[in-house]
Chains A and B, each alone.
Chain A
Amino acid sequence: AAGVIQSPRHLIKEKRETATLKCYPIPRHDTVYWYQQGPGQDPQFLISFYEKMQSDKGSIPDRFSAQQFSDYHSELNMSSLELGDSALYFCASSPPRGQGIETQYFGPGTRLLVL
């Protein structure tokens, strides 16, 4: 079965640079979530989109922005990168409400290292 695709899988950036992470949800899933997991920490919710509209926002820095496109893929844009942004970034998708178990399916993550 198709899974959530994230690209790139690994990314190395310098401080103050920008980065764009991409997420391709499972086909026919209309909701996308972004999570950040720092070293030794639990995943923390950043932001979510439902039908291309932002549906919820967590502890996402103002330097970060995200959007969901007409084909439901999503991009997380990170600017003025800081050392503390080094983390695993997970994307998850969920099916339309009322169509299956209300759960989230996670991608393999993008490992971002800021030097």
Chain B
Amino acid sequence: DAKTTQPPSMDCAEGRAANLPCNHSTISGNEYVYWYRQIHSQGPQYIIHGLKNNETNEMASLIITEDRKSSTLILPHATLRDTAVYYCIVRRNQGGKLIFGQGTELSVKP
């Protein structure tokens, strides 16, 4: 599975959009980009995933660059409850373990 690089921390004002970047320059053609988050000491929570098209669900949007070497997770209106560590994970969509990297610690401030 391809490795990912994320900034260690970010701040966001409550109500504003949070844009979390992820670099995955070694991603291969059959690998998906998954995003999970972990709110303090809780089990990680699935957010969204995509292959090459932009995706949106009730939690977030995922923007993947055309060359697929990077992506951005967008939380459109961040709330205090979105404060968490966000993990970008690249893997094939055939099941299998998740490899958690460093992640981005997002702090949403009033």
CB distance from B18 to the nearest CB of A (A): 20
| 20 residue pairs A–B, Cβ–Cβ below 8 Å | A4-B43, A31-B95, A33-B98, A42-B102, A42-B103, A43-B44, A43-B98, A45-B97, A45-B98, A56-B96, A90-B44, A92-B43, A92-B44, A94-B95, A97-B95, A103-B34, A103-B46, A107-B43, A108-B42, A109-B43
A102–B50 Cα distance when bound, in Å, is: 11
Counting CB contacts under 8 A, is B99 at the interface? yes
Verify B43–A101 contact, CB threshold 8 A. Answer: no
Chain A residue total in the interface (Cβ 8 A): 28
CB distance from A27 to the nearest CB of B (A): 18
For chain B residues 57-107, which have a beta carbon within 8 Å of chain A? 87, 93-103
Verify B44–A97 contact, CB threshold 8 A. Answer: no
Residue numbers in B under 8 Å from A90 (CB-CB): 43-44
Verify A42–B101 contact, CB threshold 8 A. Answer: yes
Q: How many A-B residue pairs have CB under 8 A?
A: 56
A102–B96 Cα distance when bound, in Å, is: 9
Main secondary structure of the interface of A (DSSP, over half): strand
CB distance from A31 to the nearest CB of B (A): 6
User: Which residues on A are within 8 Å of B, measured CB to CB?
Assistant: 4, 31, 33, 35, 42-45, 48, 50, 55-56, 58, 88, 90, 92, 94, 97, 101-109, 111
Residue numbers in A under 8 Å from B46 (CB-CB): 101, 103-105
Counting CB contacts under 8 A, is B25 at the interface? no
Residue numbers in A under 8 Å from B95 (CB-CB): 31, 50, 94, 97, 102
